[in-house]
Amino acid sequence: MAGIEHIQVEPDEAGMRLDRWFKVHFPGLGFGQLQKLLRSGQVRVDGGRVKTDARVQPGQIVRVPPLDVDAKALKSGPIAGNDLKHGGDAELLARMLLHEDDKVYVLNKPAGLAVQGGSGLTRHIDKMLEAWTSKKGEKPRLVHRLDRDTSGVLVVARTRGAAQKLTAAFRERDTKKTYWSLVKGVPRKHEDKISTWLVKEATADGDRMRIAKHGEEGADHAISYYRVLETAAQSLAWLEMEPYTGRTHQLRVHALHMGHPIIGDPKYFDDDPNWDFPGGVQKRLHLHARHIDIPHPSGGRLRVTAPLPPHMVQTWNLLGFDMESAGEPDDE
């Protein structure tokens, strides 16, 4: 059991219900336990008594008494910007961990953390994995990528043999990756397939993908599927998206191509003077690798689901989206 903690509410958590805030930070704490702590005044916000449906705001201080919950659950809260700057590699990786066995790690990568190094990057997953080098001197290996601003499921191989099998599964498309996104507007078709050619082009703001013509030099074929899970009026839609191919920025470009760019996308969402950005929604990429179904190197299938990042939890709460209604895939 830990001692009394005083935790500051992060900007990502603005407007989040207190019970949801506790579920994110302390998943091992039951709702009934939380209610009891609130009634007795052991949990307070800025020194005052509150109820479960109170909404927290950035900068507020939540008093958390000693909790009789699993120690690992205590450290599984969202990773904030300060954590990424100052936390140790091994500690941060442990907090990202969704699944572990002798062949595979599955991480829940936070938004804003790069998978591999690049210009001006001081911290990225590939470098951090050195902290988990085995006693045999074997460093875990990346087998696929996520964009820096995209959060969610990231599979890492613990051995060379596992890396070969997992890489082959991605190459042969024997995997099913499911993403959740929030897009501008509502697609006319409830579900559809998007098939285009994509090519990379250099711009003043860095490399960007665009739709290309068949046969254009350097162009790759890209196929995605989507379905609408829920809508907010006719201004926003929650999509479940599946990339059949794995091209750079594929889902982001395909969302733009069908006229419904992903909310908060710094590369592909252009401000429209005739459209008001929803109040209370952060201008951060609303794209999350929610679930993966992949052959396990030792046989059978590995199925893992990643919780939403705080800025998307905040948006889903604001819009009243029901995550339970999405029909979660069965995990292992």
12-56, pLDDT tens digit by residue?
788 888 988 887 777 667 778 888 899 999 999 999 999 988 999
More reliable by pLDDT, 231 or 82: 231
Q: Which residue has the tokens 């990756």?
A: 177
Q: Provide, rounded to the nearest whole percent, the portion of the chain with pLDDT above 70.
A: 91
60-109, pLDDT tens digit by residue?
999 988 876 553 444 456 676 667 776 788 888 888 989 998 899 999 99
Residues 6+ apart with CB under 8 A from 191: 225, 226, 227, 228
Cβ-count burial 80-96 (b if 16+ within 10 Å, e if not): beebeeebeeeebbbbb
pTM: 0.76
181-229, pLDDT tens digit by residue?
999 999 999 999 999 999 999 887 778 999 999 889 999 999 999 999 9
Residue 118, pLDDT above cutoff 80: no
Residue 135, pLDDT above cutoff 70: yes
More reliable by pLDDT, 121 or 264: 264
Torsion on CA atoms 297, 299, 303, 304, rounded to nearest 10: -40
Among 30-34, 236-240, 326-330, the minimum mean pLDDT is found in: 326-330
| Residue 2 to residue 83: CA distance in whole angstroms | 19
Residue 330, pLDDT above cutoff 60: no
Q: Provide, rounded to the nearest whole percent, the portion of the chain with pLDDT above 90.
A: 59
301-319: average pLDDT: 93
> Residue 322: what pLDDT?
84
Catalytic residues: 147
Domains of the chain: 5-64 (3.10.290.10)
Residue 273, pLDDT above cutoff 90: no
> Residue 72: what pLDDT?
40
